[in-house]
Structure 1
Amino acid sequence: MSAIQYNTFVYSLNSWSNNAHINLVKENSLRLLFEKYSDILWENGTHKYNVTSFIGEIDEILLGRKFSTFSQETLDEVIGKLRERGNSNATINRKMAALQKLLRKAFKMGDIHSLPEFRRQKERAGRLRILTREEEDRLFAAIGEMSREALALSVFLVDTGCRLGEAIGLKWSDVADSRVTFWITKSGRSRTVPLTARACGVICEQRRHQRGPFRHIAQHRYRAIWNEAKSGTGFVNDKDLVPHALRHTCASRLVQGGIDIRRVQMWLGHQTLQMTMRYAHLATTDLDKCVAVLEHRS
């Protein structure tokens, strides 16, 4: 057998082997893959609830169709449909992150034999809505009139800078010695931050709840109270004033108070410094302290 004939034979054999493998892969829908791997990939909690919704929506877009390969054309189809439904690029990126994680697991386990290339959609830099002290007082007073529980959660959010889901997911074992540890986070990395006296106070008020300080509060209920408080305090048309603004407010106060960006990154639990740099323009421009450092002699 000549070298050319041998190479042709090997190529044909490999092609046959690959095609045989493809034929052996059982077709699955996204729903079936999610049922198979969701408990392995995501812990129970708010994030898993959101991921369940994301995968369910994508499966609906695909009409529940089964597949052994998830092609680039299929991915482009999904992204196009999501955009038609009014999803922003930031929202599409969150949904694609969940889809990518699921498909990677399915590929690793041999449930599908190829993966598309996921490209992050360019996100617009949103406005950082930051509450002044006066706005906070006004809004929190209105929230407190409707629910002391919602007020306690609001105070905790602005004084810790944590995400709403992180606060609601806390257990009592996560709070100790005037510090709180967030184990289930967006980045997957836990972090521990000290509590202000005000945050310690609201935590103490919540001790009557057995599972955790805020686990009895439903996110949708809190958001409803928030929106009602906005309406009663003149913020009804302020679309940027959402509960997440409390996280922005916490970050801005740290930066304006002279805390360096790296520490703010650690406090917020950002994966990259670039995410924290959104607040850098708020840093003090007082450079007189620099002279004092340079002139100091030991």
Structure 2
Amino acid sequence: MLTVIDEFESYLKSRYSSPNTIKAYLGDVKEFLKLSSGFDTDGVEAFLSVLFKKGLSVSTITRKLASLSVFFDFLRQKGVVDTNPLDVIDKPKQSRPLPKFLEVDEIIALLEGIKDKRDRALVELIYSSSLRASEVLNLNVEDVDLDNLRIRIKRKGGKEVYLPITERAARYLKEYIKDRTGGPLFLNRYGKRLSDRYLRKLIKRYALSSVFKDISPHTLRHSKATHLLNSGMDIRILQRFLGHSSIRATQIYTHLNLKELAEAYDSSHPLARDDG
């Protein structure tokens, strides 16, 4: 006599061509039959509890529940169950990966390792104002207001906003800009605007040589946001500063482990001061 597993295997073979998919589904269902208490919501929830106690990742548990959903559809077709309990059970949510960020001492090491005037001004500005790569690359000299310590940038959608810059960033910008009054702010060796590709290579190279980490321009943006939130900035103000349309995008920074950073920070940001 065929067992439920035998019949389910035939059911899978009639619908899926990949042997690996069939094997995975069968393995998950066999585990369920071994650990569960029944073909109902309580049985599935009991199985789910066991999986969490095992310390399995959310993605692994989600995959096992997908296998069970197929199994219960099979049972429903056979008349064994009336409904699929997976239709009403809350699935574990896949956590959004937390953004990478550098700690304060790593930011200092990165900046101090940059001797080129243009590159120092560029990285200082990205970190100072938590800029996206596109925002810093599209800047023109006339967008920089050194007297009032601010820059004018274009956000997504073309909206123009002013953002503050630190005295440190302003000092390095002044040294780099010199007597230029217009045109692209950051230039390549041919006098043209820097490209996104070159910016990413530049930051990666400096980070690998100073803090031994492979980072992108966005890492600097995440780092500044993390540092500001940790030093007491209201999350609504941070949302406007970063240009997030939704507070949910900003709230990810509240989930970072900032205990060590908090101990390293004073009430005012150490890199906001012009310490030379």
Q: Which amino acid aligns with 1:261?
A: I
Q: 1:249 — aligned with what?
A: 223
Q: By how many angstroms is 1:178 displaced?
A: 1.7
Does structure 2 conserve the Cα–Cα contact (< 8 Å) formed by 1:258 and 1:283?
A: no
Q: 1:157 — aligned with what?
A: 126
Tell me which of 280, 284, 288 is aligned to 2:254.
280
Aligned to 1:244, the other structure's residue is in SS state helix
Q: 1:259 — aligned with what?
A: 233
Structure number with bigger Rg: 2
Aligned length: 159
In the alignment, the residues of structure 2 paired with residue 199 and residue 251 of structure 1 have an alpha-carbon distance, to the nearest angstrom, of: 16
Q: By how many angstroms is 1:283 displaced?
A: 9.7
Does structure 1 conserve the Cα–Cα contact (< 8 Å) formed by 2:102 and 2:220?
A: yes
RMSD: 2.8
Residues 152 and 123 (structure 1 numbering): CA distance in 2 closer, same or farther, change over 3 Å?
farther
Return 5+ residue gaps in structure 1 as ranges. 1-121, 287-298
Q: By how many angstroms is 1:284 displaced?
A: 8.6
Tell me which of 139, 147, 151 is aligned to 1:170.
139
Aligned to 1:193, the other structure's residue is in SS state strand
1:220 matched to 2:194? The reply is no
Does structure 1 conserve the Cα–Cα contact (< 8 Å) formed by 2:98 and 2:252?
A: no
Return the TM-score normalized by structure 2: 0.51
Return 5+ residue gaps in structure 2 as ranges. 1-92, 188-192, 263-276
Q: By how many angstroms is 1:233 displaced?
A: 3.1
In the alignment, the residues of structure 2 paired with residue 231 and residue 131 of structure 1 have an alpha-carbon distance, to the nearest angstrom, of: 12
In the alignment, the residues of structure 1 paired with residue 142 and residue 209 of structure 2 have an alpha-carbon distance, to the nearest angstrom, of: 37
Q: Which amino acid aligns with 1:232?
A: S
Return the TM-score normalized by structure 1: 0.47
Q: 1:102 — aligned with what?
A: none
Does structure 1 conserve the Cα–Cα contact (< 8 Å) formed by 2:144 and 2:152?
A: yes
Deviations 1:195-231 (A, max 9, x none): 2111211221232344143254333223222222233
Aligned to 2:217, the other structure's residue is in SS state coil
Q: By how many angstroms is 1:175 displaced?
A: 2.3
Residues 242 and 123 (structure 1 numbering): CA distance in 2 closer, same or farther, change over 3 Å?
farther
Deviations 1:18-55 (A, max 9, x none): xxxxxxxxxxxxxxxxxxxxxxxxxxxxxxxxxxxxxx
Deviations 1:97-139 (A, max 9, x none): xxxxxxxxxxxxxxxxxxxxxxxxx996233211112211222
**Percentage identity across paired residues of the two chains:** 26
